[in-house]
């Protein structure tokens, strides 16, 4: 019988958990300089990578219990990593569920005119947005930023 004190550390299990935790944290990278072309895929790839490592760790714990511990912890980690994996897939699909906006004004087309209240409840028209504000020159162009809202 091998000495139970000589059990090896089930590193795959812990590394897997660490990566799994990094999954949700990786969403904060959207505030960083990391390329936006890579980030969504990185967010999607991290949780399954973590889950895979956890599964390797759990398999070890059950196949070679005399060498590796982690049957219980590993099972808990597996559930956690699976949930995070499912969550990351859901998020990946959900954040891309954006309408195509095929009818939006295209480059070269005129934008529809409008008048909307500003944050002080004063009506402002598109033409008024082009008029000079106090202390500034008349703008050459507007940058219209439509956003989802603050809630």
Partner 1 sequence: MRGIQKDLPEFAAQGIRPVAISVDPPDVSEHLRQKQGYTFTFLSDPNTEVIRRYDLLHKAGGPEEHDVSRPAEFLVDRSGTVRWENFTEDIRVRPRAEQLLAAARAIQW
Neighbour count for residue 105 (Cβ, 10 Å): 11
Work out whether 134 is an interface residue with partner 1 (CB under 8 A).
no
Q: For the CB of residue 52, give the shortest distance to partner 1 in the complex, in Å.
A: 24
Work out the widest C-alpha separation in the chain, in whole angstroms. 86
- Return the residues of window 54-113 that contact partner 1 according to CB under 8 A: 95-99, 101-113
Q: Exactly one of 1, 3, 36, 72 binds partner 1 (CB under 8 A); which one?
A: 36
Helix, strand, or coil (residue 105): coil
**Which tokens sit at 113?**
């005119």
Helix, strand, or coil (residue 20): helix
Of 106, 112, 58, nearest in space to 82 by CA = 58
Q: For the CB of residue 85, give the shortest distance to partner 1 in the complex, in Å.
A: 18
Residues that bind partner 1 (CB under 8 A): 27, 30, 36, 39-40, 95-99, 101-114, 116-121, 124, 126, 129-130, 133, 136-151
């Amino acid at each position: 019988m091998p000495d139970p004190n000589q059990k090896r550390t089930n590193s795959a299990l812990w590394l897997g958990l660490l990566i799994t935790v990094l999954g949700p944290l990786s969403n904060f990278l959207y505030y960083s300089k990391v390329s936006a072309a890579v980030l969504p895929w990185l967010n999607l790839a991290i949780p399954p990578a973590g889950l895979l490592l956890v599964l390797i760790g759990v398999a070890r714990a059950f196949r070679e219990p005399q060498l590796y511990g982690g049957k219980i912890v590993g099972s808990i980690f597996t559930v956690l990593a699976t949930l995070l994996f499912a969550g990351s897939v859901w998020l990946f699909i959900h954040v891309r569920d954006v309408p195509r906006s095929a009818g939006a004004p295209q480059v070269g087309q005129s934008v529809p005119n409008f008048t909307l209240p500003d944050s002080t409840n004063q009506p402002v028209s598109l033409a008024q947005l082009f008029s000079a504000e106090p202390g500034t020159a008349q703008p050459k162009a507007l940058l219209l930023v439509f956003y989802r809202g603050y809630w």
